[in-house]
Amino acid sequence: MSQTPKHLAVVGATGAVGIEILKCLEQRDFPVSELTLLASARSAGKKLTFRGQEIEVKELTPDSFEGIDVALFSAGGGISKEFAPHAVKAGAVVVDNSSAFRMDEGVPLVVPEINPDDVSSNNGIIANPNCTTIVTLMALNPMHEAFGGVKSIIASSYQAVSGSGAQGIAELEGQVDCLAKGEPLPELSVYPCQIAFNVIPQVDVFQENGYTKEEMKMHFEGQKILHAPELKASVTCVRVPVFRSHAVAVTAVFNDKPSVAAAREAVSSAIGVRVVDDPFASPPQFPTPLDCTDGDDCLVGRIREDLVLDNALTFWVVGDQVRKGAALNAVQIAELL
C-alpha cells in the first residue's frame, strides 16, 4: 500500500458503520493527511475522536468534496446516488457501502482478499458488497479456487439485529426488557413481528420470485465478485435475536470433487478467514457470532461432505457484519487504492 497520506472523507460518519470505519483507519494506521467527517444537518456540529483529536462533523453538501482523495460512503443508497457523483466530479474516488452501484456496469464490486485487481477498473466509484455476501464468500472463495470453481450455493443466513441499525438493537433490547418484567411489548417499529426469542424469515422486501432482495444479492453479487456468471444461489435470510455478527450455513457444489481435509487446508491458507472446526474436541469446536464480534477474520467450521448433492460440501461461517461486512472491507479497498 502506498504510504502517501490521503485526504479522506467519511460520509455517514456518525452512524455505526461510519464510527467503525474510523476505528479501522486508526487501528490499521491508514496514512491520513486530513480527515473530513460528513453527515446530515442534524448531526453537523457533533465531534468524533480520531487519533486523539476531536474532529467536528460537517453537513454533507454537493460542495463537500473539494480536495478529497477518497470518500468512504456509508449513509444509505439514496445519499450515495445523490452525492457520489459530486465526489467523483471533484476528483475523489468513492468507496460506497450501499447497494446503489453494486450491479452497475463499470463499477467494481470488491472483496480485497478475493478480487483486488478489479479495483483498477473503476471510473471513480467502487462498491462494497452486501455484508452477508462478504461473510459467505470469504469462506467459499478458497474452496472455489481449490475445487475447480463453485457451481451452486444453497444457504441460510442468521442475521443480527444490528444489520437494521441502532433501531434494530433498540427494538430487541426493549422487547427483552418488557418480557423479563412481564410487561406488554412496545409497539413494533422495525420488524413485522416480535424479534425477542424469535426468528423472522424476512430480511428486506420480497420480490416477485418469492425471494427477498437480500437473498438475491448473494446470487448476483457472488457471480460478479467471483467472475462466475453461471453461479446460482438459493438463499434464505433470517433475522435472529443476536446483537452483532452474521452467521451463514452453506452447501456448495463444485466442479471437482472436494474433500473435507483439502477444504480445511484451503481455508486455513487464506487471508482474513480462520478454521475453527473440531467436532470431536471436548467441548466441540465451532465458531459462533460472539467469537468474531469486533474481529477482522471470518471464522469457518462444521465443514463436512454433503449427503445429498454430489461434489458438495456443507459448512458454517460467521463474521462481524459491521466490521468485515462493511467498515473494514471499505478501508481495505481504500488501502488498495
Instruction: For the chain, give every domain's residue range.
Output: 6-128+326-336, 133-321
| Amino acid symbol at 169 | I
What's this model's pTM, rounded to 2 decimal places? 0.95
Query: For the chain, what is the largest distance between any 2 Cα atoms, rounded to a whole number of angstroms?
Result: 59
Pairing of β 150-159 and β 93-96: unpaired
Q: What is the pLDDT along the chain (337 residues), one digit of tens a residue?
A: 457 889 999 999 999 999 999 999 999 999 999 999 999 999 999 999 999 999 999 999 999 999 999 999 999 999 999 999 999 999 999 999 999 999 999 999 999 999 999 999 999 999 999 999 999 999 999 999 999 999 999 999 999 999 998 899 999 999 999 999 999 999 999 999 999 999 999 999 999 999 999 999 999 999 999 999 999 999 999 999 999 999 999 999 999 999 999 999 999 999 999 999 999 999 999 999 999 999 999 999 999 999 999 999 999 999 999 999 999 999 999 999 9
Cell of 193: 413481528
Which contiguous run of DSSP H or E holds residue 254? strand 246-254
Helix, strand, or coil here: 142?
helix
Pairing of β 53-56 and β 125-127: unpaired
Sign of CA dihedral 11, 17, 19, 22: negative
Rounded CA-CA distance 182/193 in Å is 18
Told to judge if 131 belongs to the known catalytic residues of this protein, a careful annotator would answer yes
The domain 133-321 having CATH identifier 3.30.360.10: the answer here is: yes
Cell of 162: 444490528
- Tell me if 212 sits within 8 A of 192, measured CB to CB: no
Told to judge if 298 belongs to the known catalytic residues of this protein, a careful annotator would answer no
Q: Write down the catalytic residue from 24, 144, 237, 246.
A: 246
- Phi, psi for residue 285 in degrees, rounded to 5: -105, 120
- Tell me if 302 sits within 8 A of 316, measured CB to CB: yes
Q: Write down the catalytic residue from 131, 237, 292, 298.
A: 131
Class of domain 6-128+326-336: alpha beta
